[in-house]
Amino acid sequence: IQSKLPNVGTTIFTTMSQLAAQTGAINLSQGFPDFDGPQALREAVGRHVMAGHNQYAPMTGLPALREQVAQKIARSYGRQVDMDSEITITPGATEAIFCAVQALVRPGDEVIVFDPCYDSYEPSVELAGGRCVHVPLALPDFSIDWQRLADALSPRTRLIILNSPHNPSGALISRSELDQLARLIRGFDIYLISDEVYEHLVYDGVQHASVLAHEELYARACVVSSFGKTYHVTGWKTGYVVAPPALSMELRKVHQFVTFCGVTPLQGALADYMAAHPGHVDELPAFYQAKRDLFCDLLKGSRFTFSRSPGTYFQLADYSAIRADLDDVEMSLWLTREHGVATIPVSVFYQTPPAGLRLVRFCFAKREETLRQAAEKLCRV
Ligand code: PMP
Ligand code: GLN
């Protein structure tokens, strides 16, 4: 068969999680918590199942959940969105991104992505017949290189995909950078997908600068989030996309033929939990910052070098002082097999990795004992 995605293999997340399972290594690779979501949330699923909420949800998502999302957006970002014409519940942020890309990108269009970039973007663009133009973020802090972005724009640019807080680096896009982006693309027919799945995982007292709070950018944007990250239930694969009515209408045309709707009892449970615990999202930064700080404090006893991640549940670390002779894929395999800690190499998120990149990504969404055990091993490397 002539593959439509000849460059796509098994994702690094599957590869590393499998290797961790085979070798018995502590799995700090694929991003997911090793603790459960809130008990009340999990119990609510059972209630909805037993109450007979087991048939198709509306194509756009359960009204009760869209209402909660609208209220959260109003509280967090001060924007009133219309739950009927602007919010669509999807089976995961991944499906939201895929549908938005299919709705917006035409054959021959160019899509700007920032490297290192999340691995689902490029295949989605390729299946739509578009082409990704990769703009590397500036090292060491993974900030937008404005000159390179300006150079990458062309008459064929149709879409820019933003991701803040950024996977894998944790870097944040600031409000003034959003302003700068708005100035740069003013007058051009360019859309945005803003992947904000880690919107509530931002540390050190910093406020997440959401495209939802930016009038000018929101007018051309699909803003994507994931309940999986926010409620510690990545396996529920439930997310949402917020976009102005005309854009929502287009992406819903795709969504209704990719899956039609998300899982009904999960949506019901999330709506109940959000209504009862509106403060959950406000407690998340402190909850995860304590994990980041514990892990980083313990890692100070190792030969890894790092600066603390500003957001997400990922921490990058440079291993030049340990095994500069290994590239990061070799290093991740070596750490997993020989030292019992599985990580993600950063170069796999690049089209062209910077020469000499010596970074691995650790997921710190783990119980304290897991982080302690992993750090103990890492300090012996
Ligand atoms: N975007 C980014 C940057 C992610 O890290 C993830 C997590 N897998 C996703 C999208 C997908 O989220 P979901 O599991 O809800 O599809
Ligand atoms: N987003 C998760 C990560 O970055 C993985 C998601 C997946 O396995 N597809 O680790």
Within its chain, how far is the Cα of 70 from the centroid? 20
Pocket test of ligand 2: the residue of 32, 229, 309, 346 to mutate, having most ligand atoms within 8 Å of its CB, is: 32
pLDDT given for residue 309 in this prediction: 98
The number of the ligand 1 atom at minimal distance from the alpha carbon of 163 is 3
Note whether 198 and 154 are within 8 A (CB). Answer: no
Assessment of whether the complete model's pTM goes beyond 0.80: yes
Q: Assess if residue 7 is contained within a domain.
A: no
Question: Which CATH number fits the domain that encloses residue 349?
Answer: 3.90.1150.10
User: 57 and 158: one domain?
Assistant: yes
CATH code at position 120: 3.40.640.10
- Whether residues 357 and 251 fall in one domain: no
Same domain, 272 and 287: no
User: Closest-lying ligand to the alpha carbon of 31?
Assistant: 2
Give the separation between CA 72 and CA 344, rounded to whole angstroms: 32
Provide the 8-state DSSP code for 155: T
> Per the domain annotation, does 204 fall within a domain?
yes
pLDDT number for residue 278: 96
Q: Is the CB of 118 under 6 A from ligand 1?
A: yes
> Can you list the residues of the chain whose pLDDT is less than 50?
none
Cα of 226 vs centre of ligand 1, distance in Å, is: 7
Verify that 296 and 148 share a domain, yes or no: no
Same domain, 265 and 184: yes
Rounded distance from Cα 361 to ligand 1 centre (Å): 16
Q: Which atom of ligand 2 is nearest to the CA of 14?
A: 8
Number of domains, the chain = 2
Q: Does 201 sit in the ligand 1 pocket, CB within 6 Å?
A: no
76 backbone dihedrals φ, ψ, rounded to 5°: -80, -35
CA of 318 to the centre of ligand 1 (A): 24
Ligand 2 centre distance from Cα of residue 245 (Å): 29
Within a domain: 79: yes
Question: What's the pLDDT at 327?
Answer: 97
| Statement to judge: residues 184 and 93 lie in one domain | yes
CA 309 to ligand 1 center in whole angstroms: 18
In a domain, 35, yes or no: no
Buried b (16+ CB within 10 A) or exposed e, 248-279: bebbbebbeeebebbbbbbbbbbbbbbeeeee
Q: Is 263 in the pocket of ligand 1 (CB under 6 A)?
A: no
Residues 269, 294 within the same domain = no
Ligand 2 neighbour 30 (Cβ under 6 A): yes
pLDDT in tens, 318-351: 999 999 999 999 999 999 999 999 999 999 999 9
Domain limits at 364?
Answer: 12-30+280-379
Pair 271, 192 in one domain: yes
Distance 241 CA to ligand 1 centre (A): 12
Going by CA atoms, what residue is nearest to atom 9 of ligand 2? Answer: 13
Atom number in ligand 1 closest to CA 227? 15
| Dist CA 208 CA 191 (whole Å) | 21
Same domain, 146 and 190: yes
Whether residues 125 and 247 share a domain: the answer is yes
Is 159 part of a structural domain of the chain?
yes
User: Which of 250, 276, 302 delimits the end of a domain?
Assistant: 276
Distance in angstroms (rounded) separating the CA atoms of residues 211 and 140: 24
> Is 1 domain-assigned?
no
Last residue of a domain, one of 219, 243, 276: 276
The token pair that represents 235 in the structure block: 């396996």
CB of 199 within 6 A of ligand 1: the answer is no
pLDDT of residue 64: 98
Span from the CA of 50 to the centroid of ligand 2 (angstroms): 31
92 lines ligand 1 (CB under 6 A): yes
Task: Name the residue with the closest Cα to ligand 2, atom 8.
Answer: 13
Report how far ligand 1's centroid is from the alpha carbon of 227 (Å): 10
What does the alpha-carbon distance between residue 87 and residue 347 come to, in Å, rounded to a whole number? 34
Instruction: For residue range 273-312, list pLDDT tens digits in order.
Output: 999 999 999 999 999 999 999 999 999 999 999 999 999 9
74, 214: one domain: yes
Alpha-carbon gap, residue 250 to 241, rounded angstroms: 12
13 ligand 2 Cβ < 6 A: yes
- Cβ–Cβ contacts within 10 Å for residue 134, how many? 17
Last residue of a domain, one of 243, 258, 276: 276
What's the pLDDT at 1?
93
124 and 265, same domain (yes or no): yes
